Amino acid sequence: MCAVNTVNAQHSHHKPALLGSVLHNKCSRCRRGDLFVGHNPYNLKTFMQMNEHCPVCGQRFEIEPGFWYGTGFVSYALSVAVCVATFIAWKVLIGFSLDDNRLFWWMGLNGLLLVVIQPVLMRLSRTIWLNFFVRYDPLAAPIV
């Protein structure tokens, strides 16, 4: 019984990884609470509904009015990164040529890919933007 409590106590003080918390859309203060109400980014009725406060530590997510406008810059940077990655992958695997329209095939498929992953990029950009302004606080995470 004592060994189980020791393991739980060690696990509760474990600092969650930044990259893991960002990829799973967790609160930047405690890295445990969910930012969004639903977990499915492709439920288009609710994909951007956010909790007002972190359900774990109580951190307010909208720090000031218009706080989320900056996520457009982050979303743009993520989109450019996806375009560069697909461009490099296409160049290495298939190559480019104007003679047989391979460039235009890449442009069309890249555009389709961006439309398909846009809900994920929008959520990820909000998580990254919040992490710019709210730092991890080990005292904010409750002991379970």
pLDDT tens for the 144 residues of the chain, in order: 444 444 444 445 678 888 999 999 999 999 999 999 988 999 988 888 999 999 989 899 989 999 999 999 999 999 999 999 999 999 999 988 778 888 889 999 999 999 999 999 999 999 999 999 999 988 876 655
Identify the pLDDT of residue 101.
85
Is the distance from CB of 68 to CB of 53 less than 8 angstroms?
Answer: no
Identify the pLDDT of residue 11.
46
- Determine the residue type at 134: V
10: enclosing H helix or E strand: helix 2-12
Identify the pLDDT of residue 12.
55
Identify the pLDDT of residue 10.
46
Count of beta carbons in the 10 Å neighbourhood of residue 129:
20
Q: Is 26 helix (H, G, I), strand (E, B) or coil?
A: strand
Domain coordinates in residue numbering, the chain: 17-133
Alpha-carbon distance of 25 to 141, in angstroms, equals 16
DSSP 8-state code for residue 69: G
DSSP string, 116-143: HHHHHHHHHHHHHHHHHHS---TTTSPP
Angle at 62 between CA 60 and CA 68, to 5 degrees: 150
Alpha-carbon distance of 92 to 78, in angstroms, equals 21
Identify the pLDDT of residue 2.
47
β-strand partners of 60:
53
pTM above 0.95, yes or no: no
CA dihedral 75, 76, 80, 86 (to 10 degrees): 40
